[in-house]
Copies of this chain bind each other. A is one copy, B any other.
């Protein structure tokens, strides 16, 4: 190993992002130390019951392909082509994700994906893997981090040219950065919690061994709350309840984790709200009582780096809620962007700046879109108007092609930057409105013109005046609704 110049990286956290970054950097010639708080999952299984299934889409596949891992991970993935909406009464119906019937997102097991990435990292001769070491402090000036070794009194300190925090939404590395000067920071918890439930494989039925259609993401939208289910390779489904933490005086019927506490209370809610799922859930009572409800947080911070030596990736830099299925995909894009920036810049400090510029706006965009998608999934998707709107959007996409590519397609089936996907989604929304308004205005003008030409001038004037009044009301409404600038 005769390197002209070997640079060293210290990565804190061997989850999805940390492991993938280790692979990228080791292959680019870096000496990598990858340190994880938990035990080695290759020796004992991960604890189950607190992780939503992952959805991997175009961005994630791109990043895995680059590491040569696409085939291994995708072998056990299940493709979902749309949302299967389960109403309280009546048959479930599929909303496809895209006009292109081959486009789907992939349900994968988080633990299997993490194992694949850890194996790949461990196979790199330049990677040193260490477990059961909790990060206690960082020194951004020295480029070092200290770790308490589990079960001992000893503390180990490692130095590197770049120190990367990949230690998740409750990052210890980020907590250290928060104590530095002028570090902007926001953590916002969702008013809803989540609880994992289970639908086992079945021996008979149309989709056996699956109890429901295996090629869809199942949703039970119920207004303020919902349940979803993702298929697993063994025929089972992992279900997740998303309920408010607290009761709402305005809708006392609504289930929530504060008042629905026992298995019997949960069963009563399922009989009323999720009757078709109830029949498929023999372990409902045990699941509900055993699995602890988890919280979901959106984290934003700035800057992502300190002293040109320390930076953050993945959830540590920008935790998002899970409703767009993009958390892991966004983290993988971070790994690509950071590896690219380190390759393209002569100093680490320049690379960290370039990486943050490349990713910050995009991580903000996906955080916003994930929050908006929760409302769409639990509330809008149950409404006929939503279905009509989606169909209209897909029609415009068919007519105008890429110019009108829907936001969902851009986010899930392309690698267009998130911020651009968001902006194009908003532009689509505006054009959809105008595509309604403009024909009305044109028709109205033609009508007035036609009436005048035919000698019905007074009637034409009447119609003109009505339109004028309507336009005035619209201007007023738009003015009033717009947030007025503050005067002092």
Contacts and interface: CB of A to CB of B under 8 A. Distances in A.
Interface of A: 181-189, 245, 295, 368-369, 372-373, 376, 389, 393, 406-408, 422, 425-426, 428-430, 432-434, 441, 464, 467-468, 471-472, 474-475, 478-488
A186 B430 CA distance: 32
B185 A479 contact: no
A422 B372 contact: no
Contacts of A479: 430, 433-434, 478
Nearest to A408: B488
Given A488-B372, A488-B376, A184 B187 contact: yes
B487 A422 contact: no
Interface centre among A186, A295, A369, A376 (most CB of B within 10 A): A186
A425 B485 CA distance: 10
A486 to B, nearest CB: 5
A76 to B, nearest CB: 28
22 contacts: A182-B295, A183-B187, A183-B189, A184-B188, A185-B186, A186-B187, A368-B486, A369-B486, A372-B488, A407-B486, A408-B488, A426-B486, A430-B480, A430-B484, A441-B472, A467-B468, A468-B468, A471-B472, A471-B475, A478-B478, A478-B482, A482-B482
**Interface SS of A by simple majority:** helix
Contacts of A373: 488
Contact of A481 (B441, B467, B475, B482): B482
Contacts of A186: 185-188
Contact of A464 (B184, B464, B478, B484): B464
Contacts of A434: 479
A181 B488 contact: no
Nearest to A185: B187
A319 B422 CA distance: 32
B475 A429 contact: no
A184 B190 CA distance: 9
A97 B457 CA distance: 56
